[in-house]
A and B are shown apart, each in its own frame.
Chain A
């Protein structure tokens, strides 16, 4: 069935425990993109055949398009939820992440993290008179 590889990426992330970032699954993403390319080409062939007068191909086009949308959703959700984990770790560990986390991040995730750090630092610097580190005292201090 279409969408199985994409779902496996999601399950892999779902199985990972809180505070742990699994290695970035380059190969899994490549396979899903490969499936999307072949679905798209098949749909293009069916649309051309329909234009040329062949009948009854619409249902196949509809089914493949639903599969393309599903693959896309799984890929974007995989990337998005990994970034959520990385962002949560920023608030937990500070602007320098532990080495074991960093080795599991893709190059683009490191770039995202650098930009996120910069945005957050700029924002915190503007708070109060001399800035405020929001990541401290995540629980109300006793005082």
Chain B
């Protein structure tokens, strides 16, 4: 069952260095705060003309950069969780996961969310649970709709799905298609 998916599988380093989806997912922004002066990098902070970014400055950094500057060994910046993974949004997902448009919010909601587990942040346990429960709650409807939509336009069924869910939907559709072709002797 899905509950056994080991969290340890999700590490910040990608499953596949060459994976295009992973590269795009890791450019999602993370609210960060500078902990040590960043000299000669003032251009990274649009709100200042200074060449140095002072400690305390808040920035939105892409995950690939934040994960390199905020490690257990070295905290040049500290990070906070993006609002779509914070408590208020997790409550919405818990209330009725099926109504949430994860494509608009994502489109790599689960993949990016799993990467957030890389950080040493008090909320990551709740985020991990929320990702799993959200996926499980939505899974049944994805499977049912992908198994019953034959030879019809499926846009309305997939428009709110995140990229991982679209892969599941596509796999279900392929299974259905193969079965139909087997039944008709093809």
Contact = CB atoms under 8 A, between A and B. Distances in A.
Given A63-B76, A77-B19, A56 B64 contact: no
Interface in B10-26: 17-21, 23-24
Given A3-B62, A77-B18, A80-B18, A14 B38 contact: no
Interface stretch (B39-47, B86-94, B110-118): B39-47
A88 to B, nearest CB: 14
Given A59-B39, A60-B40, A76-B17, A66 B24 contact: no
Interface residues of B, number: 22
B138 to A, nearest CB: 24
B76 A77 contact: no
A10 interface: yes
B108 to A, nearest CB: 12
A63 B65 contact: yes
B23 A77 contact: yes
A77 B36 contact: no
Given A63-B65, A77-B17, A46 B38 contact: no
Sorting the interface of chain A by its residue count into under 10, 10 to 19, 20 to 34 or 35 or more gives 20 to 34
Contacts of B157: none
A59 B64 contact: no
Contacts, number: 68
A112 to B, nearest CB: 15
A65 B68 CA distance: 9
A26 B74 CA distance: 37
A60 B39 contact: yes
A57 interface: yes
A59 B65 contact: no
A56 B20 CA distance: 35
Contact of B24 (A7, A76, A80): A7
Contacts of A42: 40
Contacts of B38: 59-60, 63
Interface string A56-81: 11011011011101100110110011
Given A14-B21, A59-B38, A60-B38, 20 more contacts: A3-B62, A3-B64, A7-B27, A10-B20, A10-B23, A10-B24, A11-B24, A59-B36, A59-B37, A59-B39, A59-B76, A60-B39, A60-B40, A62-B68, A62-B69, A63-B69, A73-B23, A76-B18, A77-B20, A81-B20
